[in-house]
């Protein structure tokens, strides 16, 4: 499908181009287009299949409510294109490309890989020869990234063009992207504090003000905005690692992690959100952004600060390992030749995204043990599962098992049929209400249940006959404390 009628021929008040048609760029631009019919928006991506999908009936990402928004705005004032010449006519250019953790060279495993930010800054510089453009960092970037963007833009711009750089990080979460964008807690805009910078901030703020109350639009200097995004994710991840660390204490003491979280979260200074114990957080952001913060602190020689934040990620690794070890140990120290039904592969419910999902780690560990794995997930394809496992598993012996020992089941019931155990790894609502009594009757005995999301009441499962382990709940055979023995 072609990009649009030529933008200059349209009566639009402002022209926006967003580079990057991913989880952030697509939904964000769809909501801006919906709320501002007088603004013409082009979303550009160099991937032809991705743009074709955005232009088709089956969008490249699953996000509740997104289809409806896209249907209203696509072809009206929102266009998806692989033609980057649209950049030349834009007033505002959003950079919304991937900044994954760097997997090579300096900063490997920690620093953000800025190669896509760099290449699109270079391209903007090459294409734009005159006028003033506002360039907005939407992607999560390391602090002071805007310095590099500015340098690349001016080094590549051949004409009289001038640029203002703004930081406008995204706080939407996958699975709730549309409602997060419609009703954000805050919109953060950072920019230079000189006249030109403040004017650019004002201009971007005036777009959000069409539907976001003015007191929720927070403006700061550039570095504060870039750092705030990293710190917000680091703090959220820290809450999950904190409650997950307590889940281990609960299991050993008979306390119940959900009850502890409720009691702790009732303190208004702490609040109830992000205190749900789990098999570990996943997603493309938390681990990447915490490691990015660690790298920043290391670069600043703030060793203790780096260590402090690094433990948030280490605790997450520990929680995943602990869950896998529990499965193996409980099933008489071996899962070899046994079948485990894995319920959920996405990193959280209401998304088909599997990036950094704890399920990848758990399934890889089960394969290392020689188990068979039957996976069910309402939104993840078998191809995606295989790709994730291929990327994760190096050992050729274990890699081979991806093709012989892993199957994808169309229903949870089918995944569990004949299996020795069920492991819930994603909190899809449907797993709360399955008929576990009927499922139990189709499984090999003794039938085990490992609830990595504390979704089902362990008392109910035990009454059915399952040997049950639930994260953060008293185990079926609790250890005795030294002070309990006489």
Question: Can you give the binding site for ligand UGA, defined by CB under 6 A?
Answer: 140, 170-174, 233, 236, 240, 274-276, 278, 281-283, 285-286, 347-348
User: Catalytic one among 102, 133, 138, 229?
Assistant: 229
| Residue 145 annotated among the catalytic residues of the structure | no
- Rank residues 432 and 445 by Cβ distance to ligand UGA and give the closer one: 432
Cis status of the peptide bond prior to 368, with omega within 30 of 0: no
In 3D space, the residue among 463, 477, 388, 478 whose CA is nearest the CA of residue 425 turns out to be 388
- Rank residues 25 and 282 by Cβ distance to ligand UGA and give the closer one: 282
- Rank residues 173 and 218 by Cβ distance to ligand UGA and give the closer one: 173
CB of 247 to ligand UGA, least distance (A): 10
- Rank residues 225 and 405 by Cβ distance to ligand UGA and give the closer one: 225
User: Catalytic one among 170, 251, 361, 369?
Assistant: 170
User: Catalytic one among 285, 297, 324, 470?
Assistant: 285
Structure tokens belonging to residue 377: 């997930």
CB of 244 to ligand UGA, least distance (A): 7
CB of 61 to ligand UGA, least distance (A): 11
For tokens 């959900």, what's the residue? 258
CB of 411 to ligand UGA, least distance (A): 22
CB of 317 to ligand UGA, least distance (A): 14
What's the Cα-to-Cα distance from 42 to each of 51, 138, 144, 205, rounded to whole Å?
A: 11, 15, 27, 19
CB of 322 to ligand UGA, least distance (A): 14
- Rounded to whole angstroms, the maximal C-alpha distance in the chain is 88
In 3D space, the residue among 225, 220, 177 whose CA is nearest the CA of residue 67 turns out to be 177
| Residue 170 annotated among the catalytic residues of the structure | yes
- Rank residues 133 and 355 by Cβ distance to ligand UGA and give the closer one: 355
| Residue 285 annotated among the catalytic residues of the structure | yes
- Rank residues 260 and 331 by Cβ distance to ligand UGA and give the closer one: 260
List active site positions.
Answer: 170, 229, 285
């Amino acid at each position: 499908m072609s990009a649009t009628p030529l933008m200059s021929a349209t009566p639009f008040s402002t022209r926006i181009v967003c580079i990057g048609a991913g989880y952030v760029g697509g939904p964000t631009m769809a909501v801006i287009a919906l709320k501002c019919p007088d603004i013409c928006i082009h979303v550009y991506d160099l991937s032809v299949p991705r743009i074709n999908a955005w232009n088709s009936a089956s969008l490249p990402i699953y996000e509740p409510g997104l289809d409806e928004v896209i249907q209203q705005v696509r072809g009206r004032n929102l266009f998806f294109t692989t033609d980057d010449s649209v950049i030349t006519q834009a007033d505002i250019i959003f950079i919304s490309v991937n900044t994954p953790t760097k997997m090579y060279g300096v900063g490997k495993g920690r620093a953000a890989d800025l190669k896509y930010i760099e290449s699109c800054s270079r391209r903007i510089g090459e294409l734009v020869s005159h006028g003033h453009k506002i360039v907005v960092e939407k992607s999560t970037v390391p602090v002071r990234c805007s310095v590099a963007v500015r340098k690349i833009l001016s080094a590549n711009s051949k004409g009289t063009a001038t640029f203002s750089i703004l930081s406008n990080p995204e706080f939407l979460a996958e699975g709730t992207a549309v409602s997060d964008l419609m009703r954000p807690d805050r919109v953060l805009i950072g920019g230079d504090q000189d006249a030109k910078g403040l004017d650019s901030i004002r201009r971007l703020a005036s777009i959000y003000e069409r539907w976001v109350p003015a007191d929720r639009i927070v403006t700061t200097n550039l570095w504060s905005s870039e750092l705030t995004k990293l710190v917000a994710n680091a703090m959220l991840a820290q809450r999950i690692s904190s409650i997950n660390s307590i889940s281990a204490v609960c299991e050993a003491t008979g306390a119940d992690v959900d009850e502890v979280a409720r009691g702790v979260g009732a303190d208004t200074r702490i609040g109830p959100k992000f205190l749900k114990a789990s098999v570990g957080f996943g997603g493309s952001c938390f681990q990447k952004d915490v490691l990015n913060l660690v790298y920043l602190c290391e670069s600043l020689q703030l060793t203790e600060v780096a260590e402090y934040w690094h433990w948030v990620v280490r605790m997450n690794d520990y929680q995943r390992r602990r869950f896998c070890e529990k499965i193996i140990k409980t099933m008489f120290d071996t899962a070899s030749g046994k079948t485990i039904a894995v319920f959920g592969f996405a990193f959280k419910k209401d998304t088909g995204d599997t990036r950094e999902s704890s399920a990848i780690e758990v399934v890889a560990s089960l394969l290392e043990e020689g188990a068979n794995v039957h996976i069910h997930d309402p939104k993840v394809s078998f191809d995606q599962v295989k790709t994730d496992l291929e990327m994760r598993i190096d050992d050729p012996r274990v890699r081979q098992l991806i093709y012989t020992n892993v199957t994808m089941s169309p229903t949870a019931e089918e995944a569990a049929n004949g299996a020795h155990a069920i492991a819930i790894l994603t909190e899809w609502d449907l797993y709360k209400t399955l008929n576990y009594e009927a499922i139990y009757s189709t499984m090999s005995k003794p039938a085990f249940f490992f609830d990595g999301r504390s979704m089902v009441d362990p008392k109910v499962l035990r009454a059915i006959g399952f040997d049950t382990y639930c994260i953060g709940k008293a185990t079926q055979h609790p250890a005795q404390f030294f002070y309990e023995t006489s």
